Amino acid sequence: MKNMKKMKKWMIIAAAVVLGALAGCQQGSTSKEARASAYQRWYRTRATVSCGLASEYLKTGQLDQAEKKAKETIAQDAECTDAHVVLGKVYIENGQYLLATNELTIACRQKGDSSDMVYLLGVAQEKAGRFDEALASYRRARQLDGANVDAVIAAGEVLVQMDRVEEAQEYIEFNLQTAGDSLGIYELAGRLAMMRKEYATAADRYQRASDLDIKNSCYLEALAQARFLAGQYEQAAETLTTLSGKGDYPKAAWVHTMLGDCLLAMDHPAEACDAYYRAKDITPDSAQAWTNLAKALLACRETARAAAAAREAVKLQADSTEAIGLLGYTLLSNGQVEEAMEVLIGAVRNHPSDVTLQCLLGRAHELSGDEVQAERCYAAALDSNPRSPLARELAGLEGPSDGSRN
């Protein structure tokens, strides 16, 4: 409010000064040109003060007042660029993006060498869905100011919205060398690399972002996921351990699950069990959490505990073929052939095309001495997937039909 009062006082003072000048002109000269010039200065001074008030209203969130004053200013002086900018910003805040585009286009026409102004026009155009125009504006803003990294990021985001991901990645990667310590551009570079399944590149970009903002857990999360997908299991495990050890980081089952996956891939099943136990404790109603634990326990040759974990998974998700298969396998490993057969017969009935379940049921029949039923199960598995190495091996064939290991 103090700023508003100061602006109004300034308006009164300015009016007095200009009126005095106008009077002097009238006394010194009666020419129409002199009077016209004086009146023009008067209106421009009023417009300047009015525009200042509009800017103050905008800063304090009084959008209606800001719009009113900006329009008054433009009525007094249509060449007042700042008033068009204020009105454009008000329209953006109110979601009137086409109106904002119109005002900012006028402003840029009057003063098109301002990178910030051209960038703002791009924002309005993007929000209005005019992506081609927005892209051109962002690129123009970048040309006007080589340090305007926000314009580069915005151009990349627009290219993504236009489904030109490869072009977006090329553009962002090209501008990385001059981006300095911009977090946003490295985050976007990482995201684009992930979209294109270039996980090692994504890990490099997220590592840079994390180095620039070590307190931001989001970058550590993205870094861990990129490293995991890139097959960098040791580095991913280190990142996940760091993430889970942060005092302000909430408990997240996925972090421990991914850590367990990394440890299993590194052939550390006992440590994987610990990670999966923590994930299970966070989400005890998750069938997948129990399934993961069963796999790790099986890798540790703890078949009884693995069977118990698999059984819990099946209770939570009766149609999970992965959990049922693990339960059947662990029961067979424990010598509980009849119980395994009971589980697997029902599972195969519900999922007749599942190769693993058919093969496990065949193995159960084979262990019970029923070779005929076993062969039927192996044949059914082979019919479901003739390329399955498991089905071909159990059926007495030599590996997959095309030499692959699918």
Cα 275 to the center of its chain, rounded Å: 26
What Å distances lie between residue 25 and 12, 14, 16, 49, CA to CA? 20, 16, 14, 22
Which of left, alpha, beta for 7 (phi over 0: left; psi -120 to 50: alpha)?
alpha
Query: What tens digit of pLDDT does each residue of 150-195 get?
Result: 999 999 999 999 999 999 999 999 999 888 888 999 999 999 999 9
Q: Is it true that domain 335-406 has CATH number 1.20.90.10?
A: no
**CA neighbor of 394 nearest in space, from 349, 350, 360, 367:** 360
State what percent of residues in the chain have pLDDT above 90.
Answer: 72
CATH fold of 251-318, please? 1.25.40
Does the pLDDT of residue 32 top 70, yes or no? no
Q: For residue 226, what is the enclosing H or E element? A: helix 217-229
Does the pLDDT of residue 15 top 50, yes or no? no
The torsion of the CA quartet 364, 365, 369, 373, rounded to 10 degrees, works out to -160
Domain locations along the chain: 1-83, 251-318, 335-406
Query: What tens digit of pLDDT does each residue of 285-344 get?
Result: 999 999 999 999 999 999 999 999 999 999 999 999 999 999 999 999 999 999 999 999
pTM: 0.79
CB atoms inside a 10 Å sphere around CB 310: 31
Predicted local confidence at residue 398, as pLDDT: 54
Q: Give the integer Cα–Cα distance in Å for 215 and 234.
A: 22
Query: What tens digit of pLDDT does each residue of 236-274 get?
Result: 999 999 999 988 889 899 999 999 999 999 999 999 999
SS (H, E, C) 298-332: HHCCCHHHHHHHHHHHHHHCCCCHHHHHHHHHHHH
φ, ψ at 128 (rounded to 5°)? -80, -5
Q: Tokens in use for 4?
A: 């508003």
